[in-house]
Amino acid sequence: MNVAIYPGSFDPITNGHLDIIERSSRLFDRLIVAVLKNPNKKSLFTVEERIEMIKGAVSHIKNVEVDHFSGLLVDFARKKNAKIIVKGLRAVSDFEYELQMALMNKKLYGELETIFIMTNTKYSFLSSSIVKEVASLGGCVKDLVPPVVEEKLREKFKNK
């Protein structure tokens, strides 16, 4: 059975992430969306909120599950018996850091392969950070994030 992990901060999940999840779910038997729990990184949403939003957005895809991890991604991959990491690439600017991470992960866990999926062009400008900025300033993020996220963002920023 081919188990793949799609890791990230997902603070919050965007339609760009969802597009990568939908497309990669067709390539593997099981896809685990893994939310990084990093106490050193300031986030807008708690890990629990992020997981709940992802679950809401992927409920229509049968072979996708949502989990969280802390520490090294390779340790989580070993625990889950996964040998594939899926990453989305938006632009050449993403590549340098992604290459570095893929090579380091390979060094730490030789059987692990990182597979890159090119983002859909309609989401190539999208990131969680830019979505948060627009939402915090009262801009419309419909079509950029799943409806459950749009609602949560509105709630977060309603008194700002």
- Binding region for ligand PNS (CB under 6 A): 7-9, 36, 72-73, 101, 104-105
DSSP designation for 119:
P
Minimum distance, C-beta of residue 74 to ligand PNS, in the bound complex (Å): 6
Complex with ligand PNS: residue 106 or 160, whichever CB lies closer: 106
Beta-carbon count within 10 A of 148 CB: 17
Cα(first)–Cα(last) distance of the chain, in Å? 47
- List, by residue number, the catalytic residues: 17, 41, 90, 128
Q: What angle do CA 63, 77, 5 make, to 5 degrees?
A: 35
Name the residue number minimizing CB distance to ligand PNS: 8
- Contact between 67 and 30 under an 8 Å Cβ cutoff? The reply is no
**Residue 17 vs 160, nearer CB to ligand PNS:** 17
* Residue 154: Cβ within 10 Å count: 12
The tokens describing 120, both together, are 């859909």
Q: How far is the CB of 14 from ligand PNS (least distance, A)?
A: 10
Between residues 31 and 73, which has the closer beta carbon with respect to ligand PNS?
Answer: 73
* Minimum distance of ligand PNS from residue 104's CB (angstroms): 4
